[in-house]
Amino acid sequence: MKKREKKQGIEELLVILREQKNWSCGDVALNLNKQMDNQDVLEEDVRKWEIGLKYPDLDMIYELSNLYQIPSDEFVQAKNNSFQNGLLSIQVIKWICYMLNLSIKVAMVLTVLAYILALVGAFLFFRLCTSMI
């Protein structure tokens, strides 16, 4: 039985494309605003797309494909992959990433560490309670 490979989501695609250009999230927003009329893309919007708190709509996908010079169907497929990969199920971690300006990987590691500390604390509490009896 083959192990199912995780397909690249739109979050990863956007980060890779931005980093290839050596741009910050603010640079992406600035360049998108230059090429579009009557649109106000904020750095915050770009950060939310890269974390997966928010996804670009089809009009924005078209603008992103123009900005990065890649076919828009790659963005659409990556967006579909994000949904298939279940990235929407970890909203708490995504909000932590957004609020603390962390990557998803760092937030996941911090979450695992928090669970481990909670488990150790529960074990020590249980042991303390049983030694008092």
Domain spans in the chain, listed from the N-terminal domain onward:
10-102
- Is the full-model pTM beyond 0.85? no
Backbone torsion region of residue 86, taken as left when φ is above 0, otherwise alpha when ψ lies between -120 and 50, otherwise beta: left
- Which class is 10-102 in CATH? mainly alpha
- CA distances, 59 to each of 5, 55, 108 (Å): 29, 11, 31
pLDDT in tens, 23-64: 999 999 999 999 887 678 999 999 999 988 889 999 999 999
Distance CA 12, CA 9 (A): 6
